[in-house]
Amino acid sequence: MELALFGAREDVMGNGAETVANAGTIGDEMWASGAISEAADRLVAEASSYNERIADVRPASPELAESFDELLFRAGETRGRGKLYPYLGSGAGNGALVELRDGSVKWDMITGIGVHYFGHGDPDLMREGVLGSIGDTVKHGNLQANWESYAFAETLLGEAKKHSGLRHCFLSTSGAMANESALKLCLQKHAPACRVIAFADCFMGRSIVMSQIGDSAGNRVGIPLSQHVDYMPFWDPDAAAQMGKARYIDMAVAHLVQYLDRYPGQHACFIFELIQGEGGFNVGDRDFFKALIDVCKDRGVAVWDDEIQTFGRTDRMFAYEHFDLGEYVDVFCVGKMTQVCATLFTEDYNPAPGLLSGTFTGETPTFRVGRRIVERLRDGNYYGPDGSNARHQRAFREQVGALMKKHPAWFPAVDGLGELCGGIGGMMRMTPFGGEKAKIAALSKILFEEGVIVFWCGHSPYHVRMLPPLGVMNESDWPRVFEVVERGMARAAKELGVG
Ligand SMILES: Cc1ncc(COP(=O)(O)O)c(C=O)c1O
């Protein structure tokens, strides 16, 4: 077999079928073709020769402004939304840097809200996509699938099984749909119980039911309420420190028991987003979660762990590993960074036939890229107290600390928020300008123009949020990123009259 450019793999060109004997099909011959392998290498090398020319931040080109605005307007017309968020990629990018169609190059510190952990133009992932695109169909379904979809599921389950009882996996094409499947599993298992418990400030996606569970009034305008939800306060380290941790946890447990007693036998599940994403990068606490989980286990309420935003980004691959809670998780969802969205569940939650299905599960390139991402996370040095996720978090905090020291007026204290810089691993937040919504939004826009793409999270206070492509970043990139951040913040402070 030909040696592939990105590491020789003695399999059928990495489509995941390497663990079974070659069946001798025409398809096997095609996947093993040296000519196809070489052609893929050549395609990737050619594309990379363009991507590699992207080496630093660059302002938009005035000559491209008109055509960019026109395309953005046309894009907005298709959505019926007027002018959209001003991002239209050119298709070229290099690691944490991405080129837009207006000719600008920016640090991508948000990566499609946490999707592109390996950044832009990654040759290895590009190769998986190229090879995936020569399969006989683009889409796989629940009725007719090629092996790649199950190869992805096996690889993900291989990691999940290490520290949890999760045994099976149902694939879908969005996080919201993975959550819908999770809810169905909980409802069927505990029927006729139909209430759910969720944390305040949680986000679950934008299907009709997930918009109702997600704790954001603006996301459910005009949606008739059909799902009963009881909200629990999330872990608040400052309140816990003030009143004493044990007392805080006792109060939370009493709160939960009150709900369960008010509606006996009517709760199907408790949704744990162990580190809140949209809610503000709020990091939970093991003792707090464990006390609530103990009540759930005692009262027959499913423990559902939504890791759609956290997966891969803490100091372990799974947030439940970070909190050492894997053995208690009944149902689990993942998406974003994995490219493929999935609902994992224990043997106990394996549903009756007919509950979960659908035309599409995903596409061959997506499955191949997703599988490779999980393999690279597994085999790399991302995790542990000195893994690169933890080291990048420290580097981020150092940069914010230096900014706070140099420009204290940009960082006034925020009521009820102990730290103005926080998060964990590849989930990073800072809270300048008092965490005021309008100012954080204006700052994000200015940072975008200056050359750093960020977004916001939280609900009063609002934070500047980063979900950077840590898989391709060096710690030495942070001073370069923050040089642009400081320039943008100085401009924003002036324009907004801060400090
Ligand atoms: C925790 C969490 N759950 C669910 C979702 C929904 O995922 P999707 O946007 O792919 O439907 C998100 C998206 O941000 C999320 O952060």
C-alpha dihedral, 305 to 308 to 313 to 319, nearest 10°: 0
One domain, residues 280 and 422? no
Domain count, the chain: 3
One domain, residues 219 and 73? no
List Cβ neighbours of 423 (8 Å cut-off, separation of 6 or more): 281, 283, 393, 396, 429
Backbone angles phi, psi at 232, to 5 degrees: -105, 145
Amino acid at 90: S
Q: 206 by DSSP, 3-state: which?
A: coil
Which residue owns the Cα nearest ligand 1 atom 6? 205
Ligand 1 centroid from CA 327, angstroms: 23
One domain, residues 343 and 402? no
One domain, residues 204 and 323? yes
Ligand 1 site residues, Cβ closer than 6 angstroms: 113, 174-176, 179, 203-205, 273, 277-278, 306, 308-309, 335
Amino acid at 14: G
Tell me, rounded to whole angstroms, the distance of Cα 480 from its chain centroid.
24
Q: Measured from the CA of 205, which atom of ligand 1 is nearest?
A: 6
Which residue owns the Cα nearest ligand 1 atom 16? 309
Q: Is residue 2 part of a domain?
A: no
Ligand 1 centroid from CA 56, angstroms: 31
List per-block mean pLDDT (blocks of 10 residues) for the chain, which spans 499 residues: 37 62 84 96 98 98 96 95 92 98 98 98 98 96 96 98 98 98 98 98 98 96 97 96 97 98 98 97 98 98 98 98 98 98 98 97 98 98 98 98 98 93 98 97 98 96 98 98 98 93
Which of 85, 108, 131 is the endpoint of a domain?
Answer: 108
Q: Is residue 114 a contact partner of residue 362, using CB atoms and an 8 Å limit?
A: no
Best of 116, 171, 180, 204 to mutate for ligand 1, by most ligand atoms within 8 A of CB?
A: 204
One domain, residues 60 and 194? no
Q: Is residue 20 part of a domain?
A: no
Q: Is residue 334 part of a domain?
A: yes
- As a whole number of angstroms, the distance between CA 291 and CA 288 comes to 5
The residue count for the chain: 499
Q: What's the CATH number where 208 sits?
A: 3.40.640.10
Q: Supply the pLDDT for residue 5.
A: 36
Ligand 1 centroid from CA 15, angstroms: 28
Q: Is residue 333 part of a domain?
A: yes
One domain, residues 43 and 192? no
One domain, residues 195 and 53? no
- As a whole number of angstroms, the distance between CA 42 and CA 39 comes to 5
Q: Is residue 253 part of a domain?
A: yes
Q: What's the CATH number where 479 sits?
A: 3.90.1150.10
Ligand 1 centroid from CA 334, angstroms: 9
- Tokens representing 422 are 């926080």
One domain, residues 231 and 330? yes
One domain, residues 342 and 435? no
Which of 348, 379, 410 is the endpoint of a domain?
Answer: 379
Q: Is residue 118 part of a domain?
A: no
Query: Tokens 């793999």 correspond to what residue?
Result: 9
- As a whole number of angstroms, the distance between CA 160 and CA 320 comes to 10
- As a whole number of angstroms, the distance between CA 128 and CA 117 comes to 16
Which of 379, 402, 418 is the endpoint of a domain?
Answer: 379
Q: What is the number of alpha carbons within 13 Å of residue 142 lying toward its C-beta?
A: 13
Q: Supply the pLDDT for residue 2.
A: 36
Q: Which domain holds residue 315?
A: 139-379
Upstream peptide bond of 461 is cis (omega within 30 degrees of 0): yes
One domain, residues 332 and 397? no
Which residue owns the Cα nearest ligand 1 atom 4? 204
Ligand 1 centroid from CA 335, angstroms: 7
Which residue owns the Cα nearest ligand 1 atom 10? 175
Q: Is residue 116 part of a domain?
A: no
Q: Is residue 395 part of a domain?
A: yes
Best of 116, 199, 203, 310 to mutate for ligand 1, by most ligand atoms within 8 A of CB?
A: 203
- Tokens representing 187 are 């409802």
One domain, residues 314 and 275? yes
Q: 1 by DSSP, 3-state: which?
A: coil
pTM of the model: 0.95
Ligand 1 centroid from CA 455, angstroms: 15
